[in-house]
Amino acid sequence: MQYDVRIKKLKENAVVPTYGSEFAAGADLYAAVEESVTIAPSETKLIPTGIAMEIPVGYAGFIYARSGLASKKGLAPANKVGVVDADYRGEVMVALHNHGKTEQTIEAGERIAQMVIAPFITANFIVSDSLEDTVRGAGGFGSTGTK
C-alpha cells in the first residue's frame, strides 16, 4: 500500500527519504549537516534532515534506529522511537545518542535513522472504578515467562 507524502526541502543538501529494498517498511532519513558532526560516547546530538513533511491524518512517522548504524557505530535515536505527528510541519530532526565507547562522526548525506509511516488510533480514555478481569491480571515485567 502506498500513499503520497509531500515533503519540503528546507536545505539545499537535504536528501529525499529512500527505501533500501522493495519491501522495506522504513524509509532512510539522511543527515543534512553543513559539516561533519562528532558525537562523543554517552552524548546526544540533534541531527537535522533538512526536510519537513505532510504526513496523512490518521498516520504518524515513527523514527527508528538503522540497524547498521546502531550495530556498527553504536548510534541510535536517544528517545528510542521518535514520533512525527500529522500536524507537524517543522524540520524532521533525529536526536542521535552514542551508546558506544568511542567518538563517532556523522557526515553530510549519511543515513541516520529510518521512518515508518503507520496508522494509529486515538483513545477516548474513560475513568472507571473497575476493569475486566484477565488470567494475567496485574502481572508485569516478565510475569508471563517461565524462565
Question: What b-and-e string marks burial along 33-53, b requiring 16 or more CB atoms within 10 Å of the CB?
Answer: beeebebeeeeebebbbbbbb
Q: What is the pTM of this model?
A: 0.90
| pLDDT tens for the 147 residues of the chain, in order | 788 999 999 999 999 999 999 999 999 999 999 999 999 999 999 999 999 999 999 999 999 999 999 999 999 999 999 999 999 999 999 999 999 999 999 999 999 999 999 999 999 999 999 999 988 888 788 777 666
- 61 touches 49 (CB < 8 A): no
List CB contacts of 49: < 8 A, sequence separation 6 or more. Answer: 14, 15, 29, 30, 31, 32, 91, 92, 93, 94, 112
Return the CATH number of 6-119, one of 3.30.460.90, 3.30.70.3400, 3.40.50.1240, 2.70.40.10.
Answer: 2.70.40.10
